Amino acid sequence: MLKINPPDYQFCPFCGKRLEIRIEEGKERKCCSSCGWTYYPRATQAAAAVIVKKGKVLLAQRKREPFKGTWMFPAGFTDFGEHPLETLKREVKEETGLELKKARLIDVNQVEGDSREPGHFVFFYEVEVSDGQLKNDDEENQEIAWFDIKNPPKIGFKNHQKIMKFLQKGGEKN
């Protein structure tokens, strides 16, 4: 379990009253004595596409922090109510311009060091895409490109580094 703290909300998002601490199931919970709302911290998730063709892997160069200028697998946060496979399909299209044909889950890991959503989970999928012209998402990425698996550029996120090492070992888990 990661040693991270959830957001420190002070006021109820529904009625605006100051939140109080209550012990529930042995844990401190923030709650509203006025309307009864209880804050249950939870992790969000993201999906990442591991796209490999003929010994090359498709990566996106980040345009924003964290890790601006480094590379990553095409990925994004899951929208509310969205399944990670739906996220994967959407992100592949948005970030590469390609259509997802097949996806196979290869790993799920928890992220440290990302202040946007501390402790979120990333579902990594091995993805087969349709042939087509690459189209970069200029809003999110500086560029998107194919790289030799044995000689990738600098990858920022540790969990993406882990997956790259997995690929370099021939897709074998430690």
pLDDT band at 172 (very low <50, low <70, confident <90, very high): low
Q: Write the pLDDT tens digit of every residue in 27-58.
A: 999 999 999 999 998 889 999 999 999 999 99
Residues 98-113, mean pLDDT to the nearest whole number: 94
Higher-confidence residue: 2 or 124? 124
| Pairwise CA distance, residues 144 & 63, whole Å | 11
* 80 CB-near residues (< 8 Å, 6+ apart): none
Above 80 in pLDDT, residue 81?
Answer: yes
In terms of DSSP bridges, do strands 121-129 and 45-53 run parallel, antiparallel, or are they unpaired?
A: parallel
In terms of DSSP bridges, do strands 141-148 and 56-62 run parallel, antiparallel, or are they unpaired?
A: antiparallel
Mean pLDDT of the chain: 94
Residues 135-152, mean pLDDT to the nearest whole number: 95
Q: What are the backbone angles phi and psi of residue 10, rounded to the nearest 5°?
A: -110, -25
The residues with which 68 forms a beta bridge, in sequence order, are: none
Torsional sign, CA 149, 126, 120, 65? positive
